[in-house]
Amino acid sequence: MKGSRTKGTTTIEVGAHGVALITIINPPVNSLSSDVLSSLKDSYEQALRRDDVKAIVITGAKGKFSGGADISAFEKVQEGKVNEPKPDFKLSEVLGDTLEAAKKPSVAAIDGLALGGGLEVAMACHARISTPTARLGLPELQLGLIPGFGAMKSRTFDSIYGTQRLPRLVGIAKALEMMLTSKTVKGEEAHALGLVDAVVPPNELVSVACQWALDISECRRPWIASLYKTEKLDSLGEAREIFKFARAQAQKQAPNLIHPLVCIDVVEHGIVSGPRAGLYKEFESFQELVRSSISKSLVHIFFSLRGTTKIPGITDLGLVPRRVNNYPVILKEVNDQFMQAGIGRVRANLQSRVKKGKMTQEVFEKTLSLLKGSLDYESFKDVDMVIEAVIENVSLKQQIFSDLEKYCPPHCILASNTSTIDLNLIGKQTKSQDRIIGAHFFSPAHVMPLLEIVRTKQTSPQVIVDLMDVGKKIRKTPVVVGNCTGFAVNRMFFPYTQAAILLVEHGVDLYEIDRVITKFGMPMGPFRLADLVGFGVAIATGMQFVENFAERTYKSLLLPLMQEDKRGGETTRKGFYLYDDRRKAKPDPELRKYIEKARSISGVAVDPKLARLPEKDIVEMIFFPVVNEACRVFAEGIAVKAADLDIASVMGMGFPPYRGGIMFWADSFGSKYIYSRLEEWSKTYGEFFEPCAFLAERSAKGAPLVRHLNF
Ligand SMILES: *[C@@H]1O[C@H](CO)[C@@H](O)[C@H](O)[C@H]1NC(C)=O
Ligand SMILES: *[C@@H]1O[C@H](CO)[C@@H](O)[C@H](O)[C@H]1NC(C)=O
Ligand SMILES: *[C@@H]1O[C@H](CO)[C@@H](O)[C@H](O)[C@H]1NC(C)=O
C-alpha cells in the first residue's frame, strides 16, 4: 500500500505437491505486528480456499520463526492510544479457531526464535518441526503479562492461546516452569518434551515440514489439535499439588508480583474446567494485566533498555565500532602473589558457573586459556583496550596512565574503573584525553549487569561507541553518563544510606528500615548493603559527597563510631548485623549503644512520631531524597535521558524493574506530591530533604518529572 508505512508481511508459495509455504517476513526478528497478522490471516485463508493446496507450512524468513508480539502494540494500549482490545469477548469468535480447526493441516517449521506469540502460532499448528539451535519459549511474564497473544489480537487471528496449549504439549509442571521463568528450550530439549515433533538440520527444515504436512493430510501421520491433547496432563489430584507448589514458589520469589499467580490461575482453570473456559479466563486476565502498573513499568524498562544505545551526537554519527573478535585478556599486577590471587578469583568465579551447570567444562577451559598474567607492560604493545582498576589514588593512576600512553598502541582505549576521581585529572600527564574514558563496573563485577561509561568533553565519539560495543559483547548493560562526583548511580543513591541513618538517629528502628526496603523490592536494605560494601568504602565515598555537596549531606558519626570499635561490616563479621560462619546476618542488640552515642553527638532528639512511622512513609523518606538527587543528575545533563537513570537504578542498584526505575516510579506519585513531602520534611529535619530547583519547577507547573509515553 502506497503512502502508509506497513510493518512486515507474509508470502505464500504453493509447491508441486500441494503444500502452501507461508513465510513471515518482518526483520529483524519477524515480530507479529498487526500488519504481519492480517497478512498471515490473508495468506492462510487463501491457502484454505485454493483447491490446489492440501496442507500448509508456516515458517519465518532468514532463519527465524518469530520473536513474538510487536511489543510497541502493548505500549500503545497502555498509553490509551488504542482502545482495542476491549473486553467484548465473544465466545463464538474464538470458536472459529482459524488454525487448529481448519480443514487443512498446518505444520510450523521453526528455526531461530519462536518466542511468545511466535510459539503460540506454532503451537496452534498440528505439528512442529525445528532445528537443533531453535529456541522456543513463552517469555511474556517478563513484561508483566501472561501468554495471551490471542487475547491481544482477537480481531485478527483468534485462536492462539499459550497458557492452554503449552501444558497440553509438555505437561503442567514443565509448562509452568517455562512460563514462570521465561526460559527458552532448544530444539532437542523441545523434542524430548513433546513441544516439537522432529528435529532436523536447517537445510532440511522446510522440506521435512512440507512432507510432514502432506503426511497428515493423507492420514499417514496423526492430525493433532494440541488444545485437546490430554495424555500429557496429570491427574487432577497431582495437578493440584503442582499448582500449590508453583504458587508457593512464585510468592516466595516475587512477593510483590501478581501476574505469576494469575498465570498459574489461568492454567489451572483450563485444566479443571476445560480449555474453553481456560481460554476465556486467559482473555480476561490478559486485558487486566496489560493495563496494570507492573506491566507498564516492565514495558517501560524493555524500551528504556533498548534506548540506552541511542546517544544523540554519538551513536547517530554513523560510526561503526572497531572490530574486536575475541577477547584475550592480560591481567597485570604488581607482584606474582597478587597476580596468582587475581587469576584464582577469575577461575573460582568461572568454576562456580560450571558447578551450577551454566557453563560447560570445555567453555571453562577455553575461557580460562584466554587469560594471561603479567608483571610488566611489555605485552601491552598490541592491546586494543586497557581497564585500570587500582585503588582510588590520584598520583598512582596518573603514573599508570603515563605508562599506558608509552606502551600501548595509539588506537588503544584507555579506560579507568574509578568511581570518584576526575578523569581529566587522571589523564593530566598524557596527550591522550580523547581516548580516556570511564568504565565503571559495579561490585561484584561478574554479577552486576551495569557498566557506567563515563565520558568527558574530550572523549572521542568513536571511543564511546567502541566501549558500548565491548560492554554489550561482555553481556553488560552500558549506560553512557557524564562526569560528576559519583557519576549517575552512586550519586543518585548517596542519599539512600544517608536518609536511612537520619531516620535511625531520629528514632526509626534500623532493622525495620531494612525490612521495609527489602519488602519494597530492593535486594537488601541500606544497612545490610553498607555491611556488604564495607564501612571503609562507605566512609571514603561519603567523604566525597561531604566535600562536593556539603549542604545536603546528613552528617552522622554512626559509621565512624562503629568502625572505631572494629565493626567494619561483613568482612569483620560485625557491622549493623552480626555474621556467623555461613555469613548469615543476625540483628545485634548492642547497636543501640552506638546509635545513642551518635544521636547525642548530633544533638538529635528522638521524634516520637518517627518511632511508629508507617511503612509507606519509610519508603518515601528513603527514596524521595534519591529521586531528588536523580532530578539533579538529570537536570545537569549527566544522563542523556531520564530513562537511562531508570536503567541505571535497576541494573546498578537492584531497584525493582516492575516499578519502572527510579524516575518512572517517582512519576507514579507526581512532582507535586514529591515536592510537597520533601519540603515538609526539610522544615522539620533540615536541608538534607530540600527539594531541588528542577523538582520545584516541575511541581509549580503541575508537570510530571519526565514526559513518559505510557502515563
Ligand atoms: C598513592 O600512590 C603513590 C604513588 O604510587 C604513593 O606514593 C602514595 O603513597 C599513595 N598514597 C596513598 C594514600 O596510598
Ligand atoms: C573497580 O572494579 C571492581 C570490580 O572488579 C570493583 O569491585 C571496584 O570497587 C571498582 N573500583 C572502584 C574504585 O570503583
Ligand atoms: C568532573 O567532575 C568533577 C567533580 O564534579 C569536577 O571537579 C571536574 O571538573 C569534572 N571534570 C570534567 C572533565 O568535567
Which tens digits make up the pLDDT trace of 617-628?
A: 999 999 999 999
Return the ∠ at Cα 691 (arms to 522 and 457), rounded to 5°: 80
Q: Whose CA is nearest to atom 6 of ligand 1?
A: 396
Beta-sheet strands, E only, within 566-671: 577-579, 585-587
Question: Which ranges of 415-557 would DSSP assign to H, the alpha helix?
Answer: 423-426, 461-473, 489-505, 510-520, 526-533, 535-548
Calculate what percentage of the chain has a pLDDT beyond 90.
Answer: 76
| Nearest ligand to the C-alpha atom of residue 540 | 2
CB distance 420 to ligand 3 below 6 Å: no
* Span of 94-103, 221-230, 514-523 with lowest mean pLDDT: 94-103
pTM across the whole model: 0.90
Q: Is 3.40.50.720 the CATH number for 329-483?
A: yes
Task: Report CA-CA distances (Å) from 382 to 390, 413, 429, 438.
Answer: 22, 12, 22, 21
Whose atoms come closest to the Cα of 422: which ligand? 3
The better pLDDT of the pair 214, 6 is held by 214
Closest approach atom of ligand 2 to CA 445: 4
Taking the C-alpha atoms of residue 152 and residue 32, their distance in angstroms, rounded to an integer, is 11
Report whether residue 485 contacts ligand 3, using a CB cutoff of 6 Å.
yes
Q: Which residues pair with 437 in a beta bridge?
A: 415
CB-CB contact of 247 with 140 (8 Å): no
Distance in angstroms (rounded) separating the CA atoms of residues 481 and 470: 16
Delimiting residues of CATH 3.40.50.720 domain(s) in the chain: 329-483
CB of 346 closer than 6 A to ligand 3? no
State the average pLDDT for the chain.
Answer: 90
Q: Please identify, by atom number, the ligand 2 atom nearest to the C-alpha of residue 392.
A: 13
Q: What DSSP state is assigned to residue 32?
A: B
pLDDT at 88 over 80: no
Indicate the fold that domain 490-637+640-701 takes in CATH: N-(1-d-carboxylethyl)-l-norvaline Dehydrogenase; domain 2 (1.10.1040)
The predicted pLDDT at position 275 comes to 84
| Calpha distance 74→298 (Å, rounded) | 11
Instruction: Give residue-wise pLDDT tens across range 364-377.
Output: 999 999 999 999 99
Ligand of minimum distance to the alpha carbon of 342: 2
Q: Which amino acid residue places its CA nearest to atom 3 of ligand 1?
A: 396
Among 388, 394, 395, 420, the mutation site with the greatest number of ligand 1 atoms within 8 A of its Cβ is: 395
According to the model, what pLDDT value does residue 711 have? 40
Q: Is 482 in the pocket of ligand 3 (CB under 6 A)?
A: no
* Alpha carbon of 337 to ligand 2 centroid (Å): 20
pLDDT band per the 50, 70, 90 thresholds, residue 7: confident
What would the CATH number be for the domain defined by 9-287?
3.90.226.10
Closest of 89, 205, 70, 239 to residue 149, by C-alpha = 70
The residue among 95 and 604 whose pLDDT is bigger is 604
Ligand 3 within 6 A of CB of 249: no
463-495 in b/e burial notation, b at 16+ Cβ within 10 A?
A: bbbbbbbbbeeeebbbbbbbebbbbbbbbbbbb
Instruction: Give the CA diameter of the chain.
Output: 91
**Range(s) within the chain of domains with CATH label 3.90.226.10:** 9-287
The rounded Å distance from CA 390 to ligand 1 centre is: 11
Task: Tell me how far the alpha carbon of residue 426 lies from the centroid of ligand 1, in angstroms.
Answer: 14
Q: Which residues are catalytic?
A: 120, 140
Q: What is the pLDDT of residues 544-600, one digit of tens each?
A: 888 899 999 998 999 999 999 999 999 999 999 999 999 899 999 999 999 999 999
Mean pLDDT within 448-457: 94
Q: Which residues pair with 199 in a beta bridge?
A: 130
Q: Where do you find CATH 1.10.1040.50 in the chain? A: 490-637+640-701
